[in-house]
A and B are shown apart, each in its own frame.
Chain A
Amino acid sequence: MTAAMDTMALGATPPRAEARTPRSRWLTLRRIVSQPKGAIGLALVLGYLLLAIFGPMLAPLDPFKQNFAQTLKPPSALHWFGTDQLGRDVFSRILLGARATLGVGVGGVAFAFLVGVPLGVLAAWRRGWFDAIVMRAIDVMLSFPDIVFALAIVAILGANTQNVIIAVGVVSIPIFARTARAVTLSILAEPYVEGLSSLGARPSRIILRHVLPNISGTLLTLSTLLFASTLLSASGLGFLGLGTQPPFPEWGTMLGEARSYIRSHPHLATFPGLFLAGSALAFNLLGDALRTVYDPTSRGVAPRRSWLDRLRRAKVAPAGAPAGEGDAVPALSVRGLRLAFRTPAGLLEVVRGVDLTLQAGRTLAVVGESGSGKTSLLRAVATLATPAQVAVVEGSIAVGGESAVGLSPAALMELRRRKIGVVFQDAASALNPVLTVGAQLAEAVRIGTDLDAAAVRARCVALLEDVGISDPERRLAMYPHQFSGGMKQRIVIAIALAQDPQLLLADEPTSALDVTIQQQILALLRDIQRRRGMAILIVTHDLNLVARFADDVAVMYAGSLVEAGEAAAVLRSPLHPYAQALRSSVPGGSRRGAPLPAIAGEPPMVGSLPGGCAFRPRCERTRGRPECAAREPAARPVDGRLVACHFAEEGRA
């Protein structure tokens, strides 16, 4: 019966203030109704409210008229829901009882709201002793099971409808106060509110204009959910004979009376229970829908995976391993790869035909702006792209000669384990915060082998030493948060190396680190590559990093490669206008003392690319030449590299 506490446990996570709170009421309503649960919940709630208002007038028979000749009759044409132990018409009593039952819920929630919310907002605003007292009082109140607390209040005040409202209302006060306080605190901490108060805005104005509108959604959701639990608590008191007193009908009281006849006349309990459960369900549905509207974290409807899986399999090109070209099998070979995001509006292409070859022992850097598709490319190569979100529309990926597209889960696991290691951008989130570093490393070492505990440990120690972590024995027992950012990245690298992969994938491995640490991590990667002879594919936007670290470079723009070749050559004299612009926008690049040029125009939007060359709108070279608009330039060899520009030769210095 601690429905209220449950609500709090799940529902009261204060949403961030910038939660896209719908501005217009109609928009909110539309968002509610657009969800099935919202539409059903709202319809049911309205139905119940109408019942509470008009129910007593609609009662076909006198709800109080006893008839001892007609007791405990099953439903019939005259008595739709049968009669009770005193021969009264159950249908009429349910209609009349709607007002008492729902009224107690409304009254209780309103009472709790009016007391709890101001307390919570004030506590958050004033802080200090007032906050301390409110919080302590909440602690004390929450030390009682809520129905027991309500029982005690009824015991003190006596059993009647009005006292039940007070009892169930008092029980919900701490929940409202706590939620209002938490949400207000988070909004007061928002930079724009802090700015307002430093500008001298009056506190009352800030509360009225900025805090209340922002917390109203959360409070509306909470009230709706609390309404359901308050209703059940109040009717629970009625069931115990401590609520609305006979002869007045209330659904809980009616259930309590029906209890004595459950063996012989089960129908008596059916209808009040059905109406009661229905009303709680209605408010829970509506509350759930409201939460979806107001809490952005609970939004996002995941697509149907099973259906998409089938689609994916159908569309995947025959993945013949394009191995055997040249003397050695390349560590990575990508051919004509097209990737698309699955969106409600259909497939959205983010990688539009990419070819890559990476030999063992070499480092290839893929550079490009945010949104150029480079990370999607890396995730697809790492086989980590979720089929439910990203589709391989066309093309093949082969790692060490083995196809990485369209594999069974087991084959995929095997491929990831043996051949691929991944280093993520943010080491802090790439490590599980609640497991020790040793446990996470050992997991990577142990999988697919039958090493005993001592051997696993020895290997873990060796790996940590490999990535330059001193005192590895002791570090294994530590948790990720006890390490610095650079150390965490070393640990992620150690995990990636655990199974001696042929291909190491790194997604901006140093952009979350400060400069000196960046150098160390890069030096470490290079050193490991030299010792193990593996291939590294690194995704970055940092051209300085490319210049120092990569053997080859591929410049990506709007999902395709615009220039690819040896890093030294491409960086010295890029031919594609985008690559040129990219290089000249790097500090310390071309001319000292000159202002840094920026690339004109907006980065491309996937899904709304111009016809012809995708770079056309920002290009200085096109000057409206018809070729650029007519067809998309294919990559062709120019000066020992591949360039996708109709006028690549014009880029020569």
Chain B
Amino acid sequence: MFIPRRLAQALPTLFVVSLLVFFFMDMIPGDPAQMLAGPAATDEEVQSIREFLGLNQPLLTRYGLFLKGLWDPSIATSFRTHRPVAVELAERLPNTLIVAIGGLALGLVVGTVSGVVCALRQGGFAEAIITVLTLTGISMPIYWLGLLCIWFFAVYLGWVPAAGASTPMHFVLPILVVATRPTAMFSRLITASLLEAMSKDYLDTARAKGLSETRVIVSHALRNSLVAAVSVAGVQFGGMLGGSVVTETVFGIPGVGRLLVDAVSRADYPVVQYTILMFAIFFVLINLATDLLTQWLDPRTREERRAA
């Protein structure tokens, strides 16, 4: 079976990832406990911090504890708040996912439409505009665009709240801003793959059947772009999860990204470790899902899968 085999392939990656995240603390130059305690700390204080971080236990025990912390929240607690990291993450994850999924969906729809328009109107006015817009979208620092939008829509026009995540209206602006990049990427992808598909004989076969140009494009040319679109969607979704560290700072959303930034600047190492591990697990899962979906969508690879 393919799915278990693909899962088995992902496991070594996850194992190395977990090792990397685990050794994160040992990679910090000097003694993390000393650094956390600060220069003025007494030896006892440094010792107790070391105890708390488990730094004086043997390596294997520490790794075991680290893994155990994945399902036993009492082991993995934040250094600052002393609450289980799992609780901290669970509180914030929904906010992060809402923005990421919303932005991806919006980008997919708008990007596909503009990509089709761009491919069909080559050399026209619409193509020029869309090309400029997509390049701008890709070059735009999200944090700057976010600030501009906050000023315009929230401060100047007063249509939406500027920061926070308490009502659905709070998510409108972040989703719009976050959708910029996926929109631009999908638009370029769809244009490129449509233009490539346009030269294929099977479109002529479809035309010769008497299908309308719209149907030729939607059910033949676009259908073939789907595979590429799925893998870009996977990359974009992962990118958006990662990008949450910036967007959540811009829009003051209490999410996982903001948690990570705060943890890094406050040297809250357990939170940093588990948050990064969670991001990595998400990434591996997204890659897995993307792979499975593309395999399923492309009958040629589906066949290989059956044969293998």
Chain A interface (Cβ < 8 Å from any Cβ of B): 1-3, 5-6, 8-10, 37, 136, 139-140, 142-148, 151-152, 154-157, 228, 232, 235-236, 239-242, 252, 255-256, 258-259, 262-263, 266, 269-270, 272-273, 276-277, 280-281, 283-285, 288, 297-298, 301-306, 382, 384, 409-410, 413-414, 416-418, 420-422, 424, 426, 429-436, 440, 443-444, 447-448, 479, 481-482, 492, 495-496, 498-499
Nearest Cβ in chain A — how far from B124, in angstroms?
A: 6
Given contacts A10-B185, A151-B261, A156-B27, contact A429 B201 (CB under 8 A): yes
Nearest Cβ in chain A — how far from B293, in angstroms?
A: 13
Between B14, B24, B138, B155, the greatest number of chain A beta carbons within 10 A of the residue's beta carbon is seen for B138
Interface check B272, CB cutoff 8 A = yes
Q: Which 7 pairs from chain A and chain B are nearest by CB?
A: A145-B242, A417-B210, A2-B239, A273-B144, A280-B139, A302-B122, A281-B139
Selected from B204, B261, B264, the residue in CB contact (under 8 A) with A424 is: B204
Nearest A residue to B200 by beta-carbon distance? A429
- CB of A495 within 8 A of CB of B205, answer yes
- CB of B243 within 8 A of CB of A1, answer yes
Interface check B159, CB cutoff 8 A = no
- CB of B17 within 8 A of CB of A255, answer no
Q: What are 27 inter-chain pairs, A to B, with CB distance below 8 A?
A: A1-B246, A3-B138, A3-B181, A145-B283, A148-B276, A148-B279, A154-B264, A157-B29, A228-B138, A228-B139, A235-B141, A239-B249, A240-B265, A252-B143, A259-B249, A262-B155, A280-B138, A281-B136, A303-B123, A416-B208, A422-B204, A422-B205, A422-B208, A424-B205, A430-B205, A432-B223, A433-B300
Chain B residue numbers with a CB within 8 Å of A280 are: 138-141
- CB of A236 within 8 A of CB of B246, answer yes
Q: Is the interface of A mostly helix, strand, loop or mixed?
A: helix
- CB of A240 within 8 A of CB of B242, answer no
- CB of B148 within 8 A of CB of A269, answer yes
Cα-based distance from A151 to B17 in the complex (angstroms): 16
Nearest B residue to A266 by beta-carbon distance? B151
Question: Which of B36-44, B59-67, B68-76, B230-238 participates in binding chain A?
Answer: B230-238
Nearest Cβ in chain B — how far from A480, in angstroms?
A: 9
Cα-based distance from A236 to B29 in the complex (angstroms): 24
Nearest Cβ in chain B — how far from A173, in angstroms?
A: 14
Chain B residue numbers with a CB within 8 Å of A492 are: 205
Selected from A1, A6, A242, A297, the residue in CB contact (under 8 A) with B264 is: A242
Interface check B135, CB cutoff 8 A = yes
Nearest A residue to B119 by beta-carbon distance? A302
- CB of B265 within 8 A of CB of A242, answer yes
Interface check B202, CB cutoff 8 A = yes
Selected from A5, A37, A420, the residue in CB contact (under 8 A) with B239 is: A5
Given contacts A6-B185, A422-B204, contact A258 B303 (CB under 8 A): no
Contact with A along B260-297 (1 / 0, CB 8 A): 11001101000010001001100110010000000001
- CB of B242 within 8 A of CB of A146, answer yes
Between B196, B204, B220, the greatest number of chain A beta carbons within 10 A of the residue's beta carbon is seen for B204
Nearest Cβ in chain B — how far from A131, in angstroms?
A: 16
Cα-based distance from A136 to B121 in the complex (angstroms): 43
Chain B residue numbers with a CB within 8 Å of A440 are: 205
Cα-based distance from A376 to B124 in the complex (angstroms): 26
Selected from B13, B147, B196, B236, the residue in CB contact (under 8 A) with A262 is: B147
Cα-based distance from A482 to B302 in the complex (angstroms): 12
Cα-based distance from A396 to B203 in the complex (angstroms): 25
Cα-based distance from A407 to B210 in the complex (angstroms): 14
Nearest B residue to A235 by beta-carbon distance? B141
Chain B residue numbers with a CB within 8 Å of A269 are: 144, 147-148, 151
- CB of A147 within 8 A of CB of B212, answer no
Nearest A residue to B278 by beta-carbon distance? A148
Contact with A along B20-37 (1 / 0, CB 8 A): 100010011100000000
- CB of B303 within 8 A of CB of A384, answer no
Selected from B206, B245, B265, B297, the residue in CB contact (under 8 A) with A148 is: B245
Selected from A37, A273, A284, A495, the residue in CB contact (under 8 A) with B138 is: A284
Given contacts A240-B245, A430-B201, contact A9 B144 (CB under 8 A): no
> A144-B276, A145-B239, A421-B208 known; 7 other A-B pairs, CB under 8 Å?
A136-B12, A140-B13, A148-B260, A302-B195, A304-B123, A384-B207, A416-B207
Chain A residue numbers with a CB within 8 Å of B207 are: 384, 416
- CB of B303 within 8 A of CB of A447, answer no
Given contacts A140-B20, A426-B201, contact A156 B209 (CB under 8 A): no
Given contacts A145-B241, A152-B24, A152-B276, contact A139 B223 (CB under 8 A): no
Cα-based distance from A482 to B122 in the complex (angstroms): 35
Nearest Cβ in chain B — how far from A418, in angstroms?
A: 7
- CB of B201 within 8 A of CB of A281, answer no
Selected from B16, B141, B148, the residue in CB contact (under 8 A) with A236 is: B141
Chain A residue numbers with a CB within 8 Å of B148 are: 266, 269-270, 273
Chain B residue numbers with a CB within 8 Å of A151 are: 245, 260-261, 264
Chain B residue numbers with a CB within 8 Å of A145 are: 238-239, 241-243, 279, 283
Given contacts A143-B13, A143-B284, A417-B210, contact A306 B147 (CB under 8 A): no
- CB of B151 within 8 A of CB of A5, answer no
Cα-based distance from A139 to B283 in the complex (angstroms): 11
Chain A residue numbers with a CB within 8 Å of B29 are: 156-157
Between B135, B195, B213, B227, the greatest number of chain A beta carbons within 10 A of the residue's beta carbon is seen for B135
- CB of B280 within 8 A of CB of A262, answer no
Nearest Cβ in chain B — how far from A463, in angstroms?
A: 13
Chain A residue numbers with a CB within 8 Å of B123 are: 301-305
Cα-based distance from A144 to B260 in the complex (angstroms): 13
- CB of B245 within 8 A of CB of A147, answer yes
Chain A residue numbers with a CB within 8 Å of B242 are: 1-2, 144-148
Contact with A along B149-161 (1 / 0, CB 8 A): 0110001000000
Interface check B211, CB cutoff 8 A = yes
Given contacts A1-B142, A240-B261, A262-B147, contact A144 B283 (CB under 8 A): yes
- CB of B135 within 8 A of CB of A288, answer yes
Chain A residue numbers with a CB within 8 Å of B177 are: none
- CB of A304 within 8 A of CB of B211, answer no
Nearest Cβ in chain A — how far from B25, in angstroms?
A: 9
Nearest B residue to A384 by beta-carbon distance? B204
Cα-based distance from A298 to B192 in the complex (angstroms): 8
Chain B residue numbers with a CB within 8 Å of A3 are: 138, 181
Cα-based distance from A650 to B303 in the complex (angstroms): 61
Cα-based distance from A231 to B108 in the complex (angstroms): 26
Chain B residue numbers with a CB within 8 Å of A155 are: 24, 28, 264, 267, 272
Nearest Cβ in chain B — how far from A245, in angstroms?
A: 12
Chain A residue numbers with a CB within 8 Å of B17 are: 140, 143-144
Given contacts A2-B238, A151-B261, A241-B265, contact A418 B210 (CB under 8 A): yes
- CB of B151 within 8 A of CB of A147, answer no
Cα-based distance from A207 to B30 in the complex (angstroms): 42
Interface check B253, CB cutoff 8 A = no
Interface check B162, CB cutoff 8 A = yes
Chain B residue numbers with a CB within 8 Å of A298 are: 192
Nearest B residue to A501 by beta-carbon distance? B208
Interface check B4, CB cutoff 8 A = no
Given contacts A2-B235, A145-B279, contact A305 B241 (CB under 8 A): no
Interface check B47, CB cutoff 8 A = no
- CB of A262 within 8 A of CB of B265, answer no
Cα-based distance from A139 to B284 in the complex (angstroms): 9
Chain A residue numbers with a CB within 8 Å of B141 are: 232, 235-236, 239, 252, 255, 273, 276-277, 280
Selected from A152, A157, A421, A435, the residue in CB contact (under 8 A) with B272 is: A152
- CB of A434 within 8 A of CB of B298, answer yes
Chain A residue numbers with a CB within 8 Å of B139 are: 228, 232, 277, 280-281, 283-284
Interface check B116, CB cutoff 8 A = no
